[in-house]
Copies of this chain bind each other. A is one copy, B any other.
Amino acid sequence: MRLKDDNKKDAIFEATIQLINEVGYENVSMSKIGRKAGVSPSTIYVYFENKEDMLKKVYLESKMKFAWGMIRGIRNEDSVRQVAFQLVKNVLDYVQENESYFLFTEQFADSPLMRDLDMSEINKIFGPIYEIVERSQKEGILKQLPPELLFAFGYYPVTQFAKGKLRLDVSFSQMDIESLQQMFWDAIKV
């Protein structure tokens, strides 16, 4: 009996992400993924129930990776201003270092396929940040608004800006980073 080979699963993950970024979801077939991953298309069905199951799992893993990237280096005792600046920096770093993972998730963000996924595991990762926000709101440093609204200004403009740069194949300047950090901070601080 052969043992299940984790390399194969990883190769399928990687091939899926690369291919979808290269040719778009609508042009990705199981046999193309298999070919790129170096396995038979039917082997994919040893590791996943079907195409949808596979895509969802790749998506969740990518999101999880992103979440860990976002909170990297943030400590509970940091000032909320520091945290805000760090978040923006982390997002930009992650996007740049994990371009293909990032673009893959963006392409599925609005797909009906990814509705109703259980994101609770991922959201838990942001627990510490929520605590800092709450504390800072009590201290009167942050606007008294739902945290989601505050996050929105640190996440969406940053990722969309980054996406534009990736498409043009240019990297971010130090000034870009500082501008985004400052604007985020101005948006959420009292």
Of the candidates B107, B109, B161, B163, the one whose C-beta lies within 8 Å of that of A149 is B161
User: What is the minimal beta-carbon distance from A105 to any residue of chain B, in angstroms?
Assistant: 10
Expressed in whole angstroms, the Cα–Cα distance for A102 and B146 within the complex equals 24
| Contact assessment for A179 and B145 in the assembled complex, using a CB-CB cutoff below 8 Å | yes
Question: Among residues 36 to 80 in chain A, which have CB atoms less than 8 Å away from a CB atom of chain B?
Answer: none
State whether A179 and B149 are in contact (beta carbons under 8 Å apart), knowing that A26-B26, A186-B186, A186-B187 are contacts in the complex. Answer: yes
State whether A143 and B179 are in contact (beta carbons under 8 Å apart), knowing that A26-B25, A157-B153, A164-B148 are contacts in the complex. Answer: yes
Expressed in whole angstroms, the Cα–Cα distance for A33 and B21 within the complex equals 27
Question: Among residues 117 to 155 in chain A, which have CB atoms less than 8 Å away from a CB atom of chain B?
Answer: 143, 145, 148-149, 152-153
Expressed in whole angstroms, the Cα–Cα distance for A156 and B106 within the complex equals 13
Of the candidates B113, B145, B176, B187, the one whose C-beta lies within 8 Å of that of A24 is B113
| Contact assessment for B113 and A153 in the assembled complex, using a CB-CB cutoff below 8 Å | no
Of the candidates B106, B184, B186, the one whose C-beta lies within 8 Å of that of A110 is B106
| Contact assessment for B164 and A157 in the assembled complex, using a CB-CB cutoff below 8 Å | no
| Contact assessment for B183 and A153 in the assembled complex, using a CB-CB cutoff below 8 Å | yes
A180: interface (CB < 8 Å): yes
State whether A153 and B187 are in contact (beta carbons under 8 Å apart), knowing that A25-B26, A179-B143 are contacts in the complex. Answer: yes
Highest count of chain B CB atoms <10 Å: which of A107, A148, A152, A179: A152
A binding-site residues for B, Cβ under 8 Å: 23-26, 103, 106-107, 109-113, 115, 143, 145, 148-149, 152-153, 156-157, 160-161, 163-164, 167, 176, 179-180, 182-184, 186-189
Q: Which 3 A-B pairs have the closest CB atoms?
A: A24-B112, A156-B156, A152-B157
